[in-house]
A and B are shown apart, each in its own frame.
Chain A
């Protein structure tokens, strides 16, 4: 079954617009054909604020990607993010008429699960199955063919403000590019950053990007929490610029060069030059304190919402970091300190091609989009015939809308 498909994933990030073209094969492998990226403008905290500027960036990235991959791109999978996107868990139940559970039942229970009150402005982005229960007893992934009186399902529902998501969609359509699907960024990143084993063992994926920090938490193979906080690397830079009263560009450089999230091991009298000529200096510890304060707050915020979400003390067994800001030194220690869970190194993804790029966590989301597309298309194409497999895929990332 040497079927191959070519997909394009587009991430409009706060710091960069990145378009990845990849070829997926029937055996599940993924080959990146080309990448186009451009520093973004007109994006704040993961959301498009200046359509024209963003379109220019997309255009540029598109051109490069097409050039490198030698593929004409008409449609993309688009990742969306923003602090307005939230996840919630809901359980739905239906009565069964006695026969064995079929797909229609699963659809119905899914419908029930989606019958949840979300703010009026919001729309569903994903509904991801967690588990099924037949007669409230067994917890199972695939209830097809079972018989019972009652079928329940736990779904993780991700929703966001429609108009804001629409903004991104409109912007991309104006390039013009068709959109095959929209994907909440951490859902895509998780396809790359986490393998099935990590999901089963329990994993918290933190995607600390430029403008937002997205997270998704898996416990026992199922998504239990997800969300986005409107704080990212840009905030750290901004903090440094404001506190030290230096320009943003300089602050960014200070952050990357001298910054550390963890304060231990930094000498109190270690001085670093503020300006290029080294005439002015500042204590390095101060920079690190600024970063530490910001990240401590950010991570605590996420930790709090996770504790609330996951309940029952279900802790994932490892934290996985992606996103540009995760390159910050000392972040591992800080994360471990706050979440009480060790930080795991990303597994080498099963990606071939110009792969040097993909070890960089900055590309987790766009490449994850390709993987997502791959799973989705195999789910769609096999549909009824291999319903079981389809269900499994749905479990992994959820069918859309």
Chain B
């Protein structure tokens, strides 16, 4: 048996020292940090950021940043992401200060609430601006927390994915189900926190601790890279003679691995074995052998060993991988999870989700319809070339079906960037206009439409019946063309101004583009980031320019927005606070507009009701005629049995 006698001195990596910071945002983030602190993580400084002063003060983290001390006066956000965002902006300098000078920053956040969903994206943005390597740990809320929170969480997640180098998503539902299905909420959350903290620690050790077979950030990225991924994470630590096998056993017990079942379908699996000097090759072999029986032969194994003197006589095994939500749901035994993932998969979130748009376009004028069909076709066929990427971006926005998205899109408007994404697209790619006239009956779309059509209040104002009712009057063609003409100048004008103003851009152009489109799938996050920047550069430029449009949708002069765009970002956002209100109001108001369509819809409904009413009195109930229904097993007990059975 050959001993791997790895002394610290001998370690080639000794020299490079990473500095870490772990940011916990919101209540849930703070919990994770507390957990990390409890378990001892002296490598990284822990910074907790929260709006709620009470929660902040109860945290054990070394550094605390109160968000929105002026805005919220130490209270929480009450679940309002807008407030969370404002609060983060208020403390932007402090955050920047905290992040500055670190190589790597972990942001862990429980998404769904106000502080988490609102502040985390801002913090990530700042981190990105500071040029750190950013890994975000986002926890999606439990299903029982309601659709609204889930929606907020997803919106925030898609924003974060635009900034972070890696995003690890945890599904609370999954953890709750697998770990402690019978236990209370507290335990479920605690268990979730524990896993996240373990995962953060393991990731830190992974990249920071010297190892003879070193695992780097690149490996980590590979392991985590898949579309809409859910992190698979396993960590085991054991002592004693049989520590290798025991550690593997523990690792596989981790709920996110589902006793190793999920590993068998993972593409890229990162495995790190770490121990102190006493770790032997045999042990490493044992671990790898035991784990590989759970992997499929074709899996790409990224293997590494690490030395961590603090482990003492223990051996630790870390397994990190990712699966996309769809695959996960297919294999997962948990129905809720499945649903969840299906909802995701079903939503036209992904690139080719554009189809619904095309489908919806059909009943509208032929021109836009055909145009729209060509739009999705392009990205589908083309490689991730620039135009394709651009084509993809706005499309998902347009096709977002969920009503609740109103909020999210309004959010986007707030930043003035979702508009930015759509509008330039409109300008550059005639196809993109299609989303506008297409107009499904979803209200969600309304804000998107607003942008290109902002100049045409009538069209912009009607959500459901708009396309049908109004399109025919002005021929589809002018509608389509109008937005172009007016939109082009602002986009162009804005471009130069913003290039300097937007610090995100040089960094991660996609990111900002994505941020603009909250619903955009982040699939290209890892891969696309490197490939696409130059091509896309023009895209992110516009965002601030568009901010103006929701604000002053009636102003056709493009110069104004451009000029305004120059101004500070914070202004953009503070202005935007008003915007969603206006937007929503307009959306809400729209159905009240006199349109033929709703009237036409009502009529058949009334008729249907009449029909039902007509049917009612046919069967005689005598003295029971006015009673509540007394229907058991499909039989109306109030009608004489004699009559019913005879018939």
Residues of A within 8 A of B (CB): 44-45, 83, 229-231, 234-235, 238-239, 241-243, 248, 289-290, 293-294, 296-297, 301
Contact = CB atoms under 8 A, between A and B. Distances in A.
A238 B639 CA distance: 9
Nearest to A47: B628
A241 B635 CA distance: 20
5 closest residue pairs by CB, A with B:
A239-B640, A293-B641, A290-B642, A238-B622, A293-B642
Nearest to B624: A238
A239 B620 CA distance: 10
Contact of A44 (B620, B627, B640, B643): B627
A243 B630 contact: no
Given A242-B640, A243-B640, A235 B645 contact: no
Contacts of A230: 630, 637
A57 B425 CA distance: 77
Given A45-B630, A231-B630, A301-B633, A294 B623 contact: no
Contacts of B637: 229-231, 235, 297
Contacts of A241: 622-623
Nearest to B623: A238
A290 B640 contact: yes
B638 interface: yes
21 contacts: A229-B632, A229-B637, A235-B637, A235-B640, A238-B621, A238-B624, A239-B641, A242-B622, A242-B640, A242-B643, A243-B643, A289-B642, A290-B641, A293-B640, A293-B641, A294-B640, A294-B642, A296-B641, A297-B635, A297-B637, A301-B633
Contacts of B623: 234, 238, 241, 248
Nearest to B645: A293
Of B627, B633, B640, most buried by chain A (CB within 10 Å of CB) is B640
B641 A294 contact: yes
A235 B625 CA distance: 12
Contacts of A290: 640-642
A44 B621 CA distance: 14
Given A45-B627, A238-B622, A238-B623, A243 B632 contact: no
A336 to B, nearest CB: 20
Contacts of B632: 229, 301
Contacts of A297: 635, 637, 641, 645
A368 B79 CA distance: 55
B184 to A, nearest CB: 14
Interface string B599-635: 0000000000000000000001111100100101101
Given A235-B640, A239-B643, A290-B642, 10 more contacts: A230-B637, A231-B630, A231-B637, A238-B621, A238-B623, A239-B641, A241-B623, A293-B642, A294-B641, A296-B641
Nearest to B638: A235
Contacts of B624: 44, 235, 238
A242 B641 CA distance: 11
Contacts of A242: 620-622, 640, 643
Contacts of A239: 622, 640-643
A238 B623 CA distance: 7
Contacts of A296: 641
B82 to A, nearest CB: 32
B642 A243 contact: yes
B287 to A, nearest CB: 39
Contacts of B640: 235, 238-239, 242-243, 290, 293-294
A44 B635 CA distance: 19
Contacts of A231: 630, 637
A297 B632 CA distance: 11
Contacts of A234: 623
Contacts of B643: 239, 242-243
A229 B642 CA distance: 18
Nearest to A290: B642
B616 to A, nearest CB: 16
A335 B561 CA distance: 85
Contacts of A243: 640, 642-643
A199 B635 CA distance: 32
B532 to A, nearest CB: 52
Contacts of A294: 640-642
A239 B643 CA distance: 8
Of A243, A290, A297, most buried by chain B (CB within 10 Å of CB) is A297
Of B622, B627, B630, most buried by chain A (CB within 10 Å of CB) is B622
Of A83, A238, A243, A296, most buried by chain B (CB within 10 Å of CB) is A238
B579 to A, nearest CB: 39
Contacts of A301: 632-633
A83 B622 contact: no
